[in-house]
């Protein structure tokens, strides 16, 4: 038995490459097959039925490519289609929502220790995500299971801004400021005082620096808030699963691990924009047609 698993990663587009980036750092000795369903993106504005159908198509494709684990990098698909995927899958399925919520819990525990449990009583999390993810309340449920109260805010303008490459643009900064200001007022009205901002969308990790800067400039009066993303937490979860399932019966492989990329729309665009999300060049992308 080889020690090297084949990990399938699925997203509505190239945003999920932020999850792959975290995975490559934590689980470098694995073969990766990535599918970006770019022809049917965005998922964030679609219905549960449509998203589930698309996600199951992608699962079948990645299983046919030899995937032994299915990582749902897309927050929207994790929020709306995890049940459907688990029912259909022959391999373990890992979504990003539960790892994200569990990372928020860990961040709160850490902050409480630092504050010596004196002045930090907040159990609030601000989740920024797509419209469909927010409507599903999947993050609120996952956070509640960890004893946290989430306020979920849809930020529909951020995905197109990131895709435009405007990750440190004044327009994006202003949009982020407005979303945060609205969210904090709306959360406050429900007595939710966030200690953590959870970036619940594949595209938002690219805005981490911009959010830090907006918090410093415009929200210095607010209690300190840490910014987390689900990508890193999901990679940790995959690492754990790989260690449990693949390492004990292994022999060391002498070949280099492989990476394959598939997109359902333009491979040229995937290559160009995807490199930004992955943090390194993507040599080759293959086109695949999964139907309408």
Residue of 42, 99, 194, 274 interacting with ligand DGL (CB under 6 A)? 42
Spatial contact of 1 and 249, defined as CB atoms under 8 Å apart = yes
Burial class (CB in 10 A: 0-12, 13-18, 19+), 260: middle
CB of 111 to ligand DGL, least distance (A): 26
Should residue 55 be labelled a site residue for ligand DGL when binding is judged by CB under 6 A? no
Rounded Cα gap, residues 282 and 267, in angstroms: 11
Q: What is the number of the residue whose Cβ is closest to ligand DGL?
A: 44
Should residue 39 be labelled a site residue for ligand DGL when binding is judged by CB under 6 A? no
Should residue 19 be labelled a site residue for ligand DGL when binding is judged by CB under 6 A? no
Token pair 């953590």 is found at 196
| 120-130 residues labelled b (16+ CB within 10 A) or e (exposed) | bebbbbbbbbb
Spatial contact of 60 and 84, defined as CB atoms under 8 Å apart = no
Residue closer to ligand DGL (CB basis): 23 or 111: 23
Stretch that binds ligand DGL, among 7-15, 28-36, 55-63, 182-190 (CB under 6 A): 7-15
Should residue 20 be labelled a site residue for ligand DGL when binding is judged by CB under 6 A? no
Rounded Cα gap, residues 123 and 171, in angstroms: 31
Should residue 202 be labelled a site residue for ligand DGL when binding is judged by CB under 6 A? yes
261 φψ region: left (φ > 0), alpha (ψ -120 to 50), beta (else): beta
The catalytic residue positions are 74, 201
Stretch that binds ligand DGL, among 69-77, 166-174, 234-242, 257-265 (CB under 6 A): 69-77
Residue closer to ligand DGL (CB basis): 122 or 136: 136
CB of 20 to ligand DGL, least distance (A): 13
Should residue 12 be labelled a site residue for ligand DGL when binding is judged by CB under 6 A? yes
Rounded Cα gap, residues 239 and 72, in angstroms: 15
Hey, which residues does 32 pair with through a beta bridge? 7, 259
Should residue 43 be labelled a site residue for ligand DGL when binding is judged by CB under 6 A? yes
Residue closer to ligand DGL (CB basis): 5 or 16: 16
Residue closer to ligand DGL (CB basis): 15 or 274: 15
* DSSP symbols for 32-69: EEEEE-GGG---TTS-HHHHHHHHHHHHHHHHHTT-SE
Q: In the complex, which residues of this chain contact ligand DGL (CB under 6 A)?
A: 11-13, 15, 41-44, 74-76, 130, 133, 159, 201-203
């Amino acid at each position: 038995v080889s020690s090297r698993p084949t990990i399938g990663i699925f997203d509505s587009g190239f945003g999920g490459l932020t999850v792959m980036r975290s995975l490559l750092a934590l689980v470098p000795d694995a073969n990766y097959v990535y599918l970006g369903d770019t022809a049917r993106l965005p998922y964030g504005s679609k219905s549960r039925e449509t998203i589930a159908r698309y996600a199951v198509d992608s699962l079948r494709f990645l299983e046919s490519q030899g995937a032994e684990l299915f990582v749902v990098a897309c927050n929207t698909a994790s929020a709306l289609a995890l049940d459907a995927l688990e029912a259909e899958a022959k391999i373990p399925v890992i979504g990003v929502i539960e790892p994200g919520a569990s990372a928020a819990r860990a961040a709160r525990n850490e902050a409480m220790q630092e504050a010596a449990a004196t002045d930090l009583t907040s159990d609030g999390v601000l989740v920024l995500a797509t419209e469909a993810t927010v409507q599903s309340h999947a993050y609120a449920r996952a956070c509640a299971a960890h004893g946290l109260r989430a306020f979920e805010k849809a930020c529909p303008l951020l995905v197109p801004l990131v895709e435009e490459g405007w990750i440190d643009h004044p327009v994006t900064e202003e949009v982020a400021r407005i979303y945060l200001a609205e969210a904090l007022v709306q959360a406050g009205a429900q007595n939710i005082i966030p200690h953590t901002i959870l970036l619940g969308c594949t595209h938002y990790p690219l805005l981490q620096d911009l959010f830090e800067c907006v918090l410093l400039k415009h929200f210095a009066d607010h209690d300190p808030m840490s910014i987390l993303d689900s990508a890193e937490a999901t990679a940790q979860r995959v690492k754990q699963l790989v260690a449990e399932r693949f390492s004990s019966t292994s022999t060391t492989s002498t070949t280099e691990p492989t990476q394959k990329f598939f997109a359902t729309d333009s491979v040229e665009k995937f290559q160009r924009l995807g490199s930004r999300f992955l943090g390194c060049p993507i040599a080759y992308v293959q086109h695949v047609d999964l139907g309408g």
